[in-house]
Structure 1
Amino acid sequence: MEAAALKLNRTLLLAVVLISLISGVLSGDIVVHDDKSPTRPGCDNDFVLVNVPTWIDDKEEDEYVGVGARFGPTLKSKEMDAHKTRVALADPTDCCTTPKNKLTGEIILVQRGKCSFTTKANVAEAAGASAILIINNSTELFKMVCEDDEHDIDIGIPVVMLPQDAGESLRGSLQKTLNVSVQLYSPSRPPVDVAEVLLWLMAVGTILCASYWSAWTARESAIDQDKLLKDASDEYLNTEPSYSSGVVEITTTSALAFVVVASCFLVLLYKKMSYAFIEVLVVLFAIGGAEGLVTCLVTILSCFRSLEQAAKTFIKILFLGAVSYLALFVSPLCVVCAILWAAFRRHHFAWIGQDILGVTLIITVIQVIKVPNLKVGAVLLSCAFLYDIFWVFVSKWIFHKSVMIVVARGDKSGEDGIPMLLKIPRMFDPWGGYSIIGFGDIILPGLLVAFSLRYDWLSNKSLREGYFLWTMIAYGLGLFITYIALNLMDGHGQPALLYIVPFTLVTFITLGTKRGELSHLWTRGELDRICPHVQLQPCEE
């Protein structure tokens, strides 16, 4: 492959830093924990999402999502079984005392605050309401539980919390004396959605392709280097073998710097998150994705004999240097694809373009950025492991919110989240949303997996005797366990590297120790496996 295609420009290097910011597999769940008391009889419901379609003057309008309380009866799971019921505005609005307006089976809309959730429910039920909708004081939803001193709870009407924007919309319609009706039902969610399976296959397949591409490039470079060394002078024999000039090799220092730089940038995003900031990230992702798409297309097309000459013929372009005619031909198409994605990224089909650009960018990064030995790989993944845990879990104690999850969701930005994610819509989930995985969960362990395959190929190791097969299996298993944890944890964001890093790193180190090659893997890695004049044969130790 041409050297120009292997080089990452400054924009792509910046994109790599941004990509590594989001390292957790996150769900689209809008519910967060608000557990204040243990469960007890009458207050032991499972928390469920509630679908709330609305009608204004018998005309169907918006459909909102709420969350059911720990107490009260369970809701119907099918829309056909749920009755359309009129909504009445509570007076007083907090429903902590008996409402002044008379209720005859309406659903009462109340404001959160001034008294407990169970008090509101008891007052509403005594006043004749058939259900109670509580407007939260923020755009998030909190799980409504019973107070510690509340016992013998017996509430006979459903209790549902709505986010602030949905509740205020209904309140505004009621204040205009419009006829507002809603349905309340809670469709069951499938235990596993096909989107999670497809996303797992996409992540594993991306690392697989990137690893083989990286190993093939390393082997071709080694063969070319060996041919040159055979005909070179003794002085040239003393030079160290090298790969393409487009390769960026990670060091221990740069691996450690990752935590500091990424953490600073994450805090900056958390503090300064805005629509404009997201737009900047969109532009950077589009540029990096276009470059990744060009690199991958040129590599694939250059395999055809009819296009081989175009891939090897270069032209000098200002600011870009030497660019092949083939790259010059496919670049406009790739740029148009990136622009179309950026323009239509809010449409329901935009995830396809985002995934195409994302996968090609990830493959290009793993191809160009290399881990030279196991020591660097261990330091990089260990730092990422601690980084993930800190910003997903520990940051809640400092910032009162999970910094990484807030940034991933794009809170306060007016967007659905930052674009550095692979995403697939949940196909059989009645609540919709996306299954997503951060680029960092693929790139960072992918660098170690790619190193293992390069080492195997350059050492002439078979698939079973090498390290790649077992490291690849370990990554797939770690990601699989992540999704299990995600479902067991009620859909709350999970740092994927918490599970992936121990699986991959421990597997690699354990195999190296058992085979007596850990010292070599740890310090010298793949480059030292090639001896002058002996193509692809391991050096004698």
Structure 2
Amino acid sequence: MAAAAALARLAAAFLLLMVQVACEYGMVRVVSETGGPRGKDYCILYNPQWAHLPHDLSKASLLQLRDWTSSVLCSPADLPATGFSNQIPLVARGNCTFYEKVRLAQGSGARGLLIVSKETLVPPGGNKTQYEEIGIPVALLSHKDVLDVFKTFGRAVRVALYAPSEPLLDYNMVIIFIMAVGTVALGGYWAGSRDVKRRYMKHKRDDGPDKQEDEAVDVTPVMTCVFVVMCCSMLVLLYFFYDHLVYVIIGIFCLASSTGLYSCLSPLVQRLPFGKCRIWDNSLPYFHKRPQVRMLLLALFCVAVSVVWGVFRNEDQWAWVLQDALGIAFCLYTLKTIRLPTFKACTLLLLVLFVYDVFFVFITPFLTKSGNSIMVEVATGPTNSATREKLPMVLKVPRLNASPLALCDRPFSLLGFGDILVPGLLVAYCHRFDVQVQSSRVYFVACTVAYGIGLLVTFMALALMQRGQPALLYLVPCTLITSGGLALWRRELGMFWTGSGFAKDPPQPSWALASAEGPQPLRDAEATQPQQPQPSELAEPEDAAGVSPQDPTSPAHCAPDPAGLPGASA
């Protein structure tokens, strides 16, 4: 009973803490007294223990704003001769406590107090006795917003202070859900299909010139440990040296996302009926392979998109669309390139990153001086950052509901790339296993559905707790338990765990058997004539590069591809 009572008190204290944090942000509606532009909302930071603000704007009093920013309002001498009767004074921050300012304002008839701050906004605090004495609201307003108010509306304005309730769930979560689940499903399917096709064609490609660059990277336990150590180190370095390292991350993102966009679009460009000619002979890096003109133009387009985002990345109105498109392309490219060879490797990677995510979100607040989570602080950008830059390694969608949180602190909802890539690698493994054991993609579908359910649970936790959540806390158990449980139910857990379901010499697909039944060319002809690529139901991204070794028989100028097929090699 004592333990239950202690848990109840702890839960009650936690709920009170959540309510207090959720109510610290409010809005001030500003309208011109002369009938100029229509009203506009600005962010304020207030302490509800001084006085509560109405949740509905219609219930908030529209009062005259008295510009008293030339004073810090710390002594009776700073008060105007006529007082602040039925007004909301706007005063400068500094030289005394919030209690001294609001006590003087209340004594002179003010109905509220706005304090201008050139520094980071902090909740105006006090003690219990002071809270009981004061009956008017007090809030902080940023100096930048004050300048915008005077520039937009002039000096004669009226204001209303209110704090609308935060919606439980913003509609932009639906957009993030569709993008995340779609990326995991498409990336897992693409990566699995590509890997299976490569296994079928391996005996024909051992001596191919592009074999090494087409191979996926198998993740080993050593690589997993090194990767996690690097992630921890980079996150801590970003926390302490954010303003310097953020530009390095932005540069890496531009390079990696342009590569990913090229990889995703190249299969579509290969289907175009034009641009098959190749550039002239040269000795330049990459260009000495004489890529097709259309692939060269695609590369320039992808680089241009990445550069445009890099230049206009802080345009909140539309730059997030480019960032999300580049981010999805980057995730698809990574899922295609990185491969987990066994369910054992999947379990190790997901569990280690599970601990990593939980530690940096829930444990680090007890280790930092500010009491903030290192993960959330880095993902959303430190409040004391001089650059005001944000890390691009997230999917971001602007909030669609009007709320103080959207206006003040986090105007975007975010989902990190790691929350897509880590479960996505398991989904790709499930798809490869499906094809090898001919299970009608039951593992792939089950793991994808489990990812979607885990993401929904993440959104529910976010709505209930109103604070950043480690998504892997919910995604890892959902995907691991579902895929492992399915393998156990189908009595394939041994093969699924070790990857032994992947046969060394898998059976030929139908298109390969049909080809084998036809007339076979003579061995001498095989040595002298180029092989025609076999048709396939599985799209192979590596053939989309449109690059072949230099053809000594083709002219030096731009000429059609010798084989007459997209991506074929002479």
> In 2, are the aligned partners of 1:290 and 1:338 still within 8 Å (CA)?
yes
In the superposition, the TM-score normalised over structure 2's length comes to: 0.72
Residue 161 (structure 1) aligned with residue 174 (structure 2) = no
Instruction: Measure how far apart 1:245 and its partner are.
Output: 3.8
One-letter identity of the residue aligned with 2:462: L
Aligned equivalents of 1:420, 1:170: Cα separation in 2 = 31
Q: Deviations over 1:41-66 (max 9, x none)?
A: xx989715322255799677985301
Aligned equivalents of 1:306, 1:129: Cα separation in 2 = 74
The alpha-carbon distance between structure 1 residues 217 and 167, as it changes in their structure 2 partners (threshold 3 A), is closer
Residue 514 (structure 1) aligned with residue 504 (structure 2) = no
| Aligned residue among 262, 282, 285 for 2:250 | 282
The alpha-carbon distance between structure 1 residues 437 and 44, as it changes in their structure 2 partners (threshold 3 A), is closer
Instruction: Measure how far apart 1:353 and its partner are.
Output: 0.9
> In 2, are the aligned partners of 1:410 and 1:416 still within 8 Å (CA)?
yes
| Aligned residue among 505, 508, 527 for 2:480 | 505
One-letter identity of the residue aligned with 1:201: I
Aligned to 1:342: 310
The alpha-carbon distance between structure 1 residues 446 and 323, as it changes in their structure 2 partners (threshold 3 A), is farther
> Residues 114-263 of structure 1 correspond to what in structure 2 (within 5 A)?
115=97, 121=102, 123-134=104-115, 138-142=119-123, 147=127, 149-150=128-129, 153=132, 155-163=134-142, 165-166=143-144, 181-225=158-202, 245-263=214-232
One-letter identity of the residue aligned with 2:23: F
Aligned equivalents of 2:364, 2:26: Cα separation in 1 = 30
Identity of counterpart residues, as a percentage?
A: 28
> In 2, are the aligned partners of 1:226 and 1:533 still within 8 Å (CA)?
no
Aligned to 2:380: 409
Aligned equivalents of 1:38, 1:531: Cα separation in 2 = 57
Aligned equivalents of 1:289, 1:258: Cα separation in 2 = 20
Aligned to 1:301: 269
> In 1, are the aligned partners of 2:121 and 2:140 still within 8 Å (CA)?
no
> In 1, are the aligned partners of 2:170 and 2:399 still within 8 Å (CA)?
yes
Instruction: Measure how far apart 1:39 and its partner are.
Output: 6.3
Q: Deviations over 1:306-356 (max 9, x none)?
A: 479789xx9985157757424323111111111111122222111111111
Residue 451 (structure 1) aligned with residue 429 (structure 2) = yes
Aligned equivalents of 1:531, 1:47: Cα separation in 2 = 61
One-letter identity of the residue aligned with 2:496: L
Structure of larger gyration radius: 2
Residue 469 (structure 1) aligned with residue 448 (structure 2) = no
The alpha-carbon distance between structure 1 residues 341 and 44, as it changes in their structure 2 partners (threshold 3 A), is closer
Aligned equivalents of 2:275, 2:444: Cα separation in 1 = 30
Q: Deviations over 1:124-163 (max 9, x none)?
A: 3333111122456842443x6774x549937542333335
The alpha-carbon distance between structure 1 residues 460 and 243, as it changes in their structure 2 partners (threshold 3 A), is farther
SS at match of 2:161: coil
Residue 86 (structure 1) aligned with residue 65 (structure 2) = yes
SS at match of 2:392: coil
Aligned to 1:11: none
> In 2, are the aligned partners of 1:49 and 1:66 still within 8 Å (CA)?
yes
Structure 2 residue ranges without an equivalent (≥5): 1-11, 511-570
**What is the count of residue pairs matched by the alignment?**
475
The alpha-carbon distance between structure 1 residues 137 and 500, as it changes in their structure 2 partners (threshold 3 A), is farther
> In 1, are the aligned partners of 2:219 and 2:340 still within 8 Å (CA)?
yes
> In 2, are the aligned partners of 1:64 and 1:166 still within 8 Å (CA)?
no
Instruction: Measure how far apart 1:269 and its partner are.
Output: 1.5
Q: Deviations over 1:495-533 (max 9, x none)?
A: 1111111211222223333333333322335xx522426
Residue 440 (structure 1) aligned with residue 418 (structure 2) = yes
> In 2, are the aligned partners of 1:82 and 1:185 still within 8 Å (CA)?
no
| RMSD, aligned α-carbons | 4.1
One-letter identity of the residue aligned with 2:136: I
Instruction: Measure how far apart 1:181 and its partner are.
Output: 5.0
Instruction: Measure how far apart 1:413 and its partner are.
Output: 4.3
Aligned to 1:484: 460
Aligned equivalents of 1:359, 1:331: Cα separation in 2 = 17
Instruction: Measure how far apart 1:483 and its partner are.
Output: 1.1
> Residues 9-158 of structure 1 correspond to what in structure 2 (within 5 A)?
47=23, 49-54=25-30, 64-71=42-49, 72-75=51-54, 77-78=56-57, 82-89=61-68, 93=72, 100-101=79-80, 102-109=83-90, 111=93, 115=97, 121=102, 123-134=104-115, 138-142=119-123, 147=127, 149-150=128-129, 153=132, 155-158=134-137
Bigger mean CA offset, 336-345 vs 202-211: 336-345
The alpha-carbon distance between structure 1 residues 150 and 468, as it changes in their structure 2 partners (threshold 3 A), is farther
> Looking at both structures, which has the greater relative contact order when contacts are Cα pairs under 8 Å and sequence separation is at least 6?
1
| Aligned residue among 360, 374, 386 for 2:343 | 374
The alpha-carbon distance between structure 1 residues 86 and 395, as it changes in their structure 2 partners (threshold 3 A), is same
One-letter identity of the residue aligned with 1:385: F
Residue 389 (structure 1) aligned with residue 363 (structure 2) = no
Aligned to 1:364: 333
The alpha-carbon distance between structure 1 residues 315 and 212, as it changes in their structure 2 partners (threshold 3 A), is farther
The alpha-carbon distance between structure 1 residues 305 and 93, as it changes in their structure 2 partners (threshold 3 A), is closer
One-letter identity of the residue aligned with 2:451: Y
Bigger mean CA offset, 186-195 vs 467-476: 186-195
The alpha-carbon distance between structure 1 residues 262 and 114, as it changes in their structure 2 partners (threshold 3 A), is same
Instruction: Measure how far apart 1:388 and its partner are.
Output: 1.2
Q: Deviations over 1:401-441 (max 9, x none)?
A: 32222222233142341111111112233545212111111
One-letter identity of the residue aligned with 2:227: F
Q: Deviations over 1:200-226 (max 9, x none)?
A: 110000011111111211221222236
> In 2, are the aligned partners of 1:85 and 1:181 still within 8 Å (CA)?
yes
Aligned equivalents of 1:360, 1:405: Cα separation in 2 = 24
The alpha-carbon distance between structure 1 residues 318 and 292, as it changes in their structure 2 partners (threshold 3 A), is same
> In 2, are the aligned partners of 1:445 and 1:500 still within 8 Å (CA)?
yes
Aligned equivalents of 2:272, 2:147: Cα separation in 1 = 63
Instruction: Measure how far apart 1:73 and its partner are.
Output: 3.8
SS at match of 1:471: helix
Aligned equivalents of 1:283, 1:258: Cα separation in 2 = 20
Aligned equivalents of 1:38, 1:95: Cα separation in 2 = 36
In the superposition, the TM-score normalised over structure 1's length comes to: 0.75
